[in-house]
Structure 1
Amino acid sequence: MGDTVNETFPAEWNVSSPELLAETPTSRITKVRLPDGTPAIVKALTPIGLKDELPGVHYLDWHDGSGAIRVLAIKDNLLLLEYAGRRTLLDHLNEFGDEAATAIAVEVLRKLLDTPHDDRAFATDLIPIRRQFASLFAKAKSDHSNGIDSLFVEAARIADELMNKPMNVQPLHGDVHHENILFGDRGWLIIDPKGLLGDPMYDAANMFYNPLDRQDLRASETRVATMARTFSRAFDRDIRTILGYAMAHAALSASWHTEDQNFEEAERSLAVARAVRSVLTSLV
């Protein structure tokens, strides 16, 4: 339950009953009520948020409610967003198991993939997926220059190959995980996109890396193989592509943690990458 707070919002929004839910370096998130009593979210972006989160707003605009929350209004640094609900996909996983949660993730991702294009142009500020992987490419280059044939080098090579032959390039969420998929009045919807541009199998791949606190799932080769088969059948994509993105994403996360000198988390991420690599290697 949020804390009741005194907030000032645009008069034309006519919202009430503000409850502070969270504050982050990028935003202040408040739950409010619309004139008809429907809950909504006001996201007040900080200067960092204005720089980092607008591509995600444009991602939501492009989907217009198909599998994702709607942007109801924008004014200055304030976003009025559809309320997605309280129940997360992690809650569902804890109650019904991993495969049941994965099936819902497939449903949400399929809605996102099926958003009609209608020849609409992509927003110019969406982040190309190659730029998203800058940290991994830099780490791999450093290791290679030092004569280290590391997992970073292998993952960067796979990522480069995949990005050189993408399919169905479109706006990507960029951070698909169990706590960004919520259940509410319109069913399961995704929130908090990063706003990338690339092959949608990268969004599917991020699920292998989650939930973050379930290393027993993330580093399980059995789970990796099951999830990869599920996504391959659901999206009619080569299982090697899906596994390649999954391995690359886990290594990317490890490179971010390495930059932050959080070597314990980097190793946890690399364990996920190794599990994915093991399954990928078994297919050759």
Structure 2
Amino acid sequence: MKPPEEILAAFRVMAPEWIATTAIASLWKVSRAGGGHAVLKYYGARGMGSEASGFRFLQAAPESCAAQVYGLRPDAALIEWLEGPSLADLAIAGKDETAARELVRVASGLHPGTGQAPEGYPRLEDRFDALFRLKPAQSCPAGGKAAIAACQTLARDLLDTQVDVRPLHGDLHHGNVMKAPRGYCAFDAKGIVGERTYELANAFRHPYGRADLIRDPRRIGMLADLWSVEFAVDRQRLLQWAAVKCALSIAWRSKGRLAQDDELDLLAALLSCATGQDLSRV
């Protein structure tokens, strides 16, 4: 599998090494004509769709904490190669608090001052349609039904009272931050406009592969304490966003009808920390 020669020529890159294929694109590590490596992401005739706003966010973000976008066209992007390791690697290796500190440093670096101009970005509230449409199946456990209902109400309240609304990375977590010579940098942005506090919400669910760690109430509390101070956001509101983001991910996987999900226990843990409600025994 190789990218079209025309794409290689347009970006002045060579020697493609296939990395991965996603639902809408294929990725290769390539060599740049001027030296060094990059990632070529090729979307084909369908184009990059909603990922275009993510590249716009990265292009406008400070280079000190974001992967550089070397080239962009409707069907392809050329992005900085980040050697790693990722913050997920760091956390899994037993340095979870160090990874958490690096993550909030990157988040703070992405949002200097008042942030980027918000015009043209997709809205955070539009992403939550899947959660608001989610219905429990008859087989859904009572605790799951209660947790989803609580998050549907909570999400509406949060979205109706957003503060410090600005363009966001939109999917900032341990796996989307890798080490470069200048420090850790974010990549794979979604590019949405919403409350700044939401930026760290998804990171409570990471790193993948450490189900025990992310469900530990002491760890959830540690992240909330650290990130609310270093990112200068309200602690309870941060936890509430974390809970509704977990519920949203469950909704996306459930495709409208929730029977069971592996993160229902994580959702219960996040809700307990955010609201004091213990739904694990409902």
The TM-score, its normalising length taken from structure 1, stands at 0.86
2:198 to 202, 206, 219: 202
1:134 to 129, 135, 139: 129
Consecutive unaligned residues in structure 2, runs of 5 or more: 139-143, 278-282
RMSD value, Cα: 2.7
Tell me the CA shift for residue 44 of structure 1.
0.6
Match of 1:269 in 2: 263
More off after superposition, 205-214 vs 224-233 = 205-214
Opposite residue 167 of structure 1, the aligned amino acid is: V
Q: Distance in 1 between matches of 2:191 and 2:212?
A: 29
Match of 1:53 in 2: 51
Match of 1:30 in 2: 28
Q: Distance in 2 between matches of 1:203 and 1:232?
A: 12
Q: Distance in 2 between matches of 1:96 and 1:113?
A: 28
Q: Distance in 2 between matches of 1:227 and 1:6?
A: 41
Match of 1:184 in 2: 180
Match of 1:105 in 2: 103
Matched, 1:239 2:240: no
**Higher RCO (Cα < 8 Å, 6 or more apart):** 2
Match of 2:82 in 1: 84
The TM-score, its normalising length taken from structure 2, stands at 0.86
1:54-73 map, 5 Å: 54-73=52-71
Distance 1:115 1:158, change over 3 A: same
Opposite residue 275 of structure 2, the aligned amino acid is: T
Consecutive unaligned residues in structure 1, runs of 5 or more: none
Q: Distance in 2 between matches of 1:96 and 1:112?
A: 26
Match of 2:98, SS state, is helix
Match of 2:280 in 1: none
1:43 to 41, 45, 54: 41
Matched, 1:278 2:276: no
1:163 to 159, 163, 171: 159
Runs of 4+ aligned residues of structure 1 deviating over 4 Å after TM superposition are 140-143, 260-264
Tell me the CA shift for residue 121 of structure 1.
3.0
Match of 1:20 in 2: 18
